[in-house]
């Protein structure tokens, strides 16, 4: 027997990260934010002085960075070269630049294979001891884990998404550009607004976090 894989994708501000973490916590699964791989790649390139417009150099850098993923849903972390950079990868500086890495097709291929390897390792062992993983990201239900046991596209009204992110204490104008700007840019390389065949849409516009979590748990119960 192998563990369950729950894949959640969708645009920024839909609540997918919060929901994915809570589902993983309740089911005692690993939690994997695949978007963090692009963010840490961006941070690494910025620190090393790599021109994010040079696609070959960016791809080479993300292929060689030394990163440890902590997949505990209660305390997930990203460790770069021995340093916990979990907060730094959420900075405005990274948020406004990350699409340059995420839309780099070679970097995306390299990071995508890493993501698949992490998911597979959690199906048979890893943090979850083989119970499985909740993985979330913009292409997780279609490109990275199209055979996941549960596939969910999480959506929400655009203004609600911006308001949620702005409510976290950030500047509204910066949030709008980071959220909607990245959506526009990333949409050039991956579809995350429309559910693919077999993917269940969960609109969180009028849902509480607990209601969204219960919706995903119900889907998981059907395949367990």
Q: What are the backbone angles phi and psi of residue 127, rounded to the nearest 5°?
A: -55, -40
Binding residues: 10-18
60-98 burial string, b = 16+ CB within 10 Å, else e?
ebbeebebebebebeebebebeeeebbebbeeeebbebb
Separation in Å, CA 183 to CA 6, 112, 120, 167, 204: 22, 18, 27, 19, 17
220 in helix, strand or coil? Answer: helix
Q: Are 136 and 184 in contact (CB under 8 A)?
A: no
Binding residues for ATP: 10-18
């Amino acid at each position: 027997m192998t563990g369950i894989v729950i894949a959640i994708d969708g645009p920024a501000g839909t609540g997918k990260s919060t929901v994915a973490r809570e589902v993983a916590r309740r089911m005692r699964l690993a939690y994997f934010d695949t978007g963090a791989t692009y963010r840490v790649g961006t941070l690494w390139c910025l620190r090393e002085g790599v021109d994010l417009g040079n696609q070959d150099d960016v791809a080479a850098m993300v292929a060689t960075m030394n990163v440890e993923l902590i997949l505990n849903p209660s305390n997930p972390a990203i460790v770069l070269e021995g340093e916990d950079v979990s907060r730094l990868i959420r900075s405005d500086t990274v948020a406004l630049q990350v699409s340059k890495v995420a839309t780099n097709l070679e970097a995306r291929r390299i990071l995508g294979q890493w993501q698949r390897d992490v998911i597979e390792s959690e199906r048979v062992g890893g943090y979850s001891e083989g119970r499985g993983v909740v993985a979330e990201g913009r292409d997780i239900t279609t490109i990275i884990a199209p055979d996941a046991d549960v596939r969910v596209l999480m959506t929400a009204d655009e203004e609600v998404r911006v308001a949620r992110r702005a409510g976290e204490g950030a500047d509204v104008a910066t949030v709008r550009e980071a959220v909607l700007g990245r959506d526009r840019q990333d949409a050039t390389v991956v579809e995350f607004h429309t559910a693919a065949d077999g993917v269940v849409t969960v609109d969180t516009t009028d849902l509480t976090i607990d209601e969204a979590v219960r919706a995903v748990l119900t889907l998981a119960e059907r395949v367990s």
